[in-house]
A and B are shown apart, each in its own frame.
Chain A
Amino acid sequence: MPQYEAGTFDVIVVGAGHAGAEAALASARMGAKTLVLTMNLDMIAFMPCNPSIGGPAKGIVVREIDALGGAMGRVIDKTHIQMRMLNTAKGPAVRALRAQADKVLYQQEMKRLMEEEKNLTLHQGIAEKLLVEDGKVQGLITQVGGIYRANSVVITTGTFLRGEIIIGDLRYSSGPNNQQPSIKLAENLEELGFETVRFKTGTPPRINSNSIDYSQTEIQPGDDVPRAFSYETTEFIMDQLPCWLTYTNEKTHQIIDANLHLSPMYSGMIKGTGPRYCPSIEDKVVRFNDKPRHQIFLEPEGRNTREVYVQGLSTSLPEHVQRQLLESIPGLEKAEMMRAGYAIEYDAIVPTQLWPTLESKQIENLYTAGQINGTSGYEEAAGQGLMAGINAAAKVLGKEEVILSRSDAYIGVLIDDLVTKGTNEPYRLLTSRAEYRLLLRHDNADMRLTELGHRIGMVSDDRYEKFLAKKERIGEEIKRLRNVMIKPNEATQQMIRDAGGSELKDGIRGADLLKRPEMDYDMIQRLTASETELEDEVKEQVEIQVKYEGYIEKSLQQVAKLKKMEDKKIPENIDYHSISGIATEARMKLSEVRPLSIAQASRISGVNPADISILLVYIEQGRIAKVSV
């Protein structure tokens, strides 16, 4: 194959899925001349699995992406068919937004955004080989011999690396949804010394909506209240489509039992590790055989299609068994299967080979993001893509690197977990992975990240000024509530009684009254006769910040402690083998992960407090030695 010089860029992004799209947009937005290379331009931001975005933890990631100037929130706000706020009966820390997506519209909108972005070039092509010189990436060569030169490369190949689809005893080389797999690039990464693991994930069958008897299912509508992920969204889609709920039953489970020998999961054909939080239906039935039924959600894939995603029925059983399964489920007796479910195995790189910027430790200026790093989920991919894009561009442009801490964002938790602990199954974010989830709320993503987004050039001045104004209104209102006295007059007592609280004995400050469980902001506002009418978002912030002040304060104290440890940096050139006293296991783990700070070191499993103490002493010793020379 003759080669030719195809162009020079600051940053090349390989892949245009959820990670690639964010990486490319971020890099371009930061001011880097960026190329995004994808196998198929019609598959930009494709959702090979469920047609939904958000949910607990993940929804907060979408908000964080938005606050940092990313695209996912804006795009889903324009293309969803349903939105729901989850966990509304619980505290503010765990509320989360979830949207059902119109998959095709989502792709089109993302593609449009990318096409509009200046500094960003889209090109269809297959990356085969990275150009690496002196341990530093220089660009890549495509299948057709195009040589693309760049200072940084971001690889976001999802499940394409040596992807293999498995249905029953059929197994063939493929990316998701029968796209081309990436074989040459996988071999190239192996040659370059990347350690990989084999993961597996799966997807359920899709059926035609016209063949569903909805009368036998329960309706699951969206919220009546307009909702949006992006802080910038001003137009809301109110025309929503419902989802539907049905259940498996004894008969379904009998079919699975009778055909288990045909399942590649159980015949030993699938070796890759699958995610525990998203098991196949055969897994659910085998592992929880006392459960008489499992939930099946029927989710429309879009407005202009009749295809319906059968959430909960992920399987790799042969197609004829999948048909039987569907027929056993109420409402789906006559279901017309449009696509069969399948399992997919793929290579993921071991993520402890990355720095917290998502740059590879082996090859300078090479970044990886998304499912290739062992995660699962569109939001996890997008969050990483955004950070990899920001850092790839920052490095080229000589700007500061951006690492979010565990107390800054769920994205910080995600990346820190990956690069510090690695993962032995496809990694999904869960709220329980965050130590400071009270600080990492859905509502305050802008409070946490807009400042940073603006500083690095991802958030416009205009948006930033709006944010500052909002912040100021929140601060002023809190100050007002802390000062204003509420007298125990009859009107006040009446309102408190009506809310089910006990009467006031004395006058009380507005903020203190708001702390009572039965009170909310609107009540206090009425009692204190405020003249300015504030936006709902401001009211929400005021209420949460005042009501949960004690808890928030407690979390902040913990964060302050952690910060001291984060600030104790470990020199990059440290040689753990020359430090006497560190236990062997800790020594190996530290050498592998090469943590940047003492805090990160202490999160590595197998590194105990004594090792940390020794490390601290050693580093201090080095510092003193340097000074005294």
Chain B
Amino acid sequence: MEFDTIAAISTPSGEGAIAIVRLSGPEAIPIADKLFQAPSGKKLAEQVSHTIHYGHLVDPWTEETVEEVMLSFMKAPKTFTREDVIEINCHGGIVSVNRVLALVLRAGARLAEPGEFTKRAFLNGRIDLSQAEAVMDLIRAKTDRAMDVALNQMEGRLSKLIGTLRQALLESIAQMEVNIDYPEYDDVEEMTRPIMLEKSMWVRSEIDKLLQTSSQGKILREGLSTVIVGRPNVGKSSLLNSLVQENKAIVTEIAGTTRDIIEEYVNVRGVPLRLVDTAGIRETEDIVERIGVERSRKVLKEADLILYVLNYSEPLTAEDERLFEAVKDMNYIVVINKTDLPQKIDLEKVQALAGSRLLVTTSLIEEEGIDQLEEAIADLFFEGEIEAGDMTYVSNARHISLLHQAHQTISDAIEAAEMEVPVDMIQIDVTRTWEILGEIIGDTADDGLLNQLFSQFCLGK
């Protein structure tokens, strides 16, 4: 816990033009050297302390250039924490700074706890007693909020998936433990290397999938995929434009082969969204039929969030109802636009169709209701517990970093199994994987294994 190398984003989220990722600890310089390439090709370790260097961060695993950065290099003890410190100045904006953070975590840093830099500064004698009191308050306050986030995420899809993986691992571990502690107990199959290998391979492939597709990870790299749907002329394009105008667009790009689908990247209250507007698609008479077009259906299927726009000044149509049917299993917010015109829509019926989904009324022309919509999006994402993007993306980076660690340990297990190492030693890495996955969902209760053991097996001798 102490004395390892920690990292965190040390600038306020999302807003500034420049963001800083700070590293502190004995491995700070080697980690930075793994990732940083200066035009001169010189390693940081060879540089003079307290200097700033221009260069690129390169992902050592893919050799892909991640960011153009300025890097401050400060050797202990004349630093804030009295440890070796590296500060990476990168482009502001949630996507790029998170990418940098994720990279340093992968390269061996641990995500700092709230207030940890200050704590180290104190423990290393850098700050005084009165400041220390403040640190303690900070640690408590921030952690409570972080725990809220963790609790919220407990409900989520990620934790369910992780739970499944952990349970699968736990059953193998328990079986193995029974083999070890009750070697004469004949009612449990002997855990063998091939079984262990197969299970480990499966878990690794699931972790791979999670790393690639978990919505959390996706947000870091490309934002929450958000699709705006609705009948023609309900105000879809206006909604897109309003969201983009209100929020500084991070990237704008037009997909090369599908020029008719427009994507905009925006940061809505700390939630990065990749807005996909289907408005560009040539409109047919029947919107549901249009949804049926292969490409649009794909876009819809992959969406993390749907903004379903209805017209306040027209009665609900059969088409509207069919569209409700089409999105019924998805995350969506109903946006009832054009409140500047007289009401024709039956709001009670809309509410009945939408069930527990959020309804927001807007007049995009009058610029009304956008705030409420943004709040609804943030609420949906943060489940109403947290203000603009503070901790959540950090804990996401934490998840990703833990998933990478779990990937490493399960790969060690696989390698060991292939090397014909005894099963109980392979299990050391399997157990470690199980523990790391537990950290993701905050389940570190250590009696889990024993409970599993005694509920799964009838043990005697």
Contacts and interface: CB of A to CB of B under 8 A. Distances in A.
A620 interface: yes
A236 interface: no
B180 A295 contact: no
Contact of B123 (A90, A284, A616): A616
A565 B2 contact: yes
Nearest to A57: B181
A430 B136 contact: no
A508 interface: no
Contact of A91 (B136, B181, B425): B425
Interface string A594-625: 00000000100100111011101110110011
B1 A580 contact: no
Contact of B119 (A55, A87, A438, A613): A613
A312 B460 contact: yes
B453 interface: yes
Nearest to A628: B129
Contacts of B132: 617, 620-621
Interface in B84-133: 113, 115-116, 119, 122-123, 125, 129, 132-133
Contacts of B424: 87, 90-91, 93-94
Given A56-B181, A90-B179, A610-B113, A295 B460 contact: yes
Given A277-B454, A432-B450, A564 B3 contact: yes
A90 B180 contact: yes
A614 B139 contact: yes
A548 B116 CA distance: 36
Interface in A41-60: 55-57
Task: Give the size range of A's interface with the partner.
Answer: 35 or more
A581 interface: yes
A561 B140 CA distance: 25
Given A581-B136, A614-B139, A609 B425 contact: no
A610 B139 contact: yes
Contacts of B129: 621, 624-625
A55 B460 CA distance: 13
Given A617-B135, A621-B132, A624-B129, A56 B183 contact: yes
Contacts of A86: 183-184
Interface string A443-466: 000000000000000000000000
Interface in A265-311: 276-279, 284, 287-288, 291, 294-295, 297, 311
A430 B184 contact: no
Nearest to A311: B461
Contacts of B461: 55, 295, 297, 311-312
A431 interface: yes
A551 B458 contact: no
A432 B449 CA distance: 8
B180 A94 contact: yes
Contacts of B206: none
A517 interface: yes
A91 B113 contact: no
Given A291-B458, A625-B129, A432 B422 contact: no
Contacts of A94: 180, 424
A517 B460 contact: no
B122 A620 contact: yes
Contacts of A614: 136, 139-140
B139 A564 contact: no
A158 B189 CA distance: 36
A548 B3 CA distance: 27
Contacts of B249: none
Given A87-B183, A90-B423, A613 B113 contact: yes
B412 to A, nearest CB: 9
Contacts of B381: none
B181 A605 contact: no
A581 B25 CA distance: 26
Contacts of A518: 420
B1 A612 contact: yes
A377 to B, nearest CB: 12
A82 to B, nearest CB: 13
Interface string B227-267: 00000000000000000000000000000000000000000
Contact count band on B: 35 or more
User: Chain B interface secondary structure, helix, strand, loop or mixed?
Assistant: helix
B195 interface: no
A295 B179 contact: no
Interface string B132-161: 110111011001000000000000000000
Given A90-B180, A581-B136, A605-B445, A620 B423 contact: no
B116 A613 contact: yes
B386 interface: no
Contacts of A431: 177, 180-181
B46 interface: no
B421 interface: yes
Nearest to B4: A561
B187 interface: yes
Given A91-B422, A432-B453, A613-B113, A438 B180 contact: no
Q: Which of A92, A580, A610 neighbours the largest number of chain B CB atoms within 10 Å of its CB?
A: A610
B324 interface: no
B123 A430 contact: no
Interface string A236-268: 000000000000000000000000000000000
- Residue among B181, B185, B422, B449 with the highest chain A CB neighbour number at 10 A: B181
B415 to A, nearest CB: 10
Nearest to A86: B183
B425 A93 contact: yes
A580 B143 CA distance: 15
A414 B460 CA distance: 21
Report which residue of B139, B421, B424 has the largest number of chain A beta carbons within 10 angstroms of its beta carbon: B424
Contacts of A57: 181
Contact of A617 (B119, B421, B450, B458): B119
Contacts of B446: 605
Nearest to B2: A564
B123 A617 contact: yes
Interface string A403-431: 00000000000000000000000000011
A284 B459 CA distance: 8
Contacts of B425: 91, 93, 438, 548, 551
B64 interface: no
A431 B2 CA distance: 28
Nearest to A278: B460
B299 interface: no
Contact of B137 (A297, A581, A616): A581
B123 A294 contact: no
A425 to B, nearest CB: 10
Contacts of B428: 438, 551, 555
Contact of A284 (B135, B140, B177, B458): B458
A321 B419 CA distance: 53
Contact of B140 (A297, A438, A548, A610): A610
B181 A517 contact: no
Interface in A73-110: 86-87, 90-94
Given A295-B460, A311-B460, 14 more contacts: A56-B182, A56-B183, A94-B180, A279-B458, A295-B186, A297-B184, A430-B450, A430-B453, A432-B449, A517-B421, A580-B133, A609-B1, A620-B123, A620-B132
Interface of A: 55-57, 86-87, 90-94, 276-279, 284, 287-288, 291, 294-295, 297, 311-312, 430-432, 438, 517-518, 548, 551, 555, 561, 564-565, 568, 580-581, 602, 605, 608-610, 612-614, 616-618, 620-621, 624-625
List of 8 A-B pairs having minimum Cβ-Cβ separation, nearest first: A91-B422, A517-B420, A610-B143, A288-B458, A276-B454, A581-B140, A581-B136, A94-B180
13 contacts: A87-B179, A87-B180, A87-B183, A291-B458, A295-B187, A548-B425, A580-B136, A602-B1, A610-B139, A617-B119, A617-B123, A621-B129, A625-B129
Interface of B: 1-3, 113, 115-116, 119, 122-123, 125, 129, 132-133, 135-137, 139-140, 143, 173, 177, 179-187, 419-425, 428, 445-446, 449-450, 453-454, 458-461
